[in-house]
Amino acid sequence: MAEVVLYHHAQGLTEGVRAFADELRQAGHTVHLPDMYEGKTFGTLDEGLDYARQTGFGTVSQRGIDAAEGLGDALVYAGFSLGGMPAQELAQTRPGAKGALLFHSCVPVSEFGEAWPEGVPVQVHGMDADPFFTEEDGDLASARALVASTDQAELFLYPGKEHLFTDSSLPAYDKDATALLMTRVLSFLEPIR
């Protein structure tokens, strides 16, 4: 079974993020949940983004990276939206990475290196009409470029416009899309040891 470091989104370590982690645990995986917001959660995406701006996106991301330091190196790095930044950075730069799961986000590979690392599979998941994900030159363009650059990458688009559709504690939650996403994630994780 895989060992996963799962990073929360801009609203913090919500009950929905915890529930997602619990579902992975029920499938037999070990899941670590770093809290990059030091216990704070926010009722709206805008409030959470304001906190990240005030704290500094670099500081928030570094908290996530630091949280992985005490863990082994054979890890899958996963992140929801804002949490995709430390997940992607670690997957691209930390030796021994076993994979990456990027939910609602993907930045250009060039942010963290010249190319996606060999032997590190990655899945990117987002909604096909989510303005945060699909805006011009945004996450979707980066995800498509990633998929075009390596046979280790998969992109999955789900119908809808919600950004944090995988968080069962938020109004944006889409049960059917999340169930399909979870099936794909569990298939991705199953062979990883």
For 54-77, the pLDDT digits (tens) are 999 999 999 999 999 989 889 999
Predicted local confidence at residue 17, as pLDDT: 98
Place of tokens 């794909």: 184
Distance CA 63, CA 41 (A): 16
**Does the pLDDT of residue 158 top 80, yes or no?**
yes
Predicted local confidence at residue 193, as pLDDT: 82
Q: What is the pLDDT of residues 95-122, one digit of tens each?
A: 999 999 999 999 999 999 989 999 999 9
Query: Long-range contacts for 66-72 (Cβ within 8 Å, ≥24 apart)?
Result: 67/5, 67/32, 67/34, 67/36, 68/5, 68/32, 68/34, 68/94, 71/3, 71/5, 71/32, 72/3, 72/96
**Domains assigned to the chain:** 3-189 (3.40.50.1820)
6: helix, strand or coil? strand
Predicted local confidence at residue 45, as pLDDT: 93
DSSP line for 29-65? -EEE---TTTT-B-SSHHHHHHHHHHH-HHHHHHHHH
* 99-103 and 122-127 beta bridge pairing: parallel
**Does the pLDDT of residue 136 top 80, yes or no?**
no
Local structure of residue 117 (DSSP, 8 states):
P
Predicted local confidence at residue 135, as pLDDT: 86
Query: Can you tell me the mean pLDDT for 5-10?
Result: 98
pTM above 0.85, yes or no: yes
Confidence of residue 138 (pLDDT cuts 50, 70, 90): confident
Q: What is the pLDDT of residues 86-97, one digit of tens each?
A: 999 999 999 999
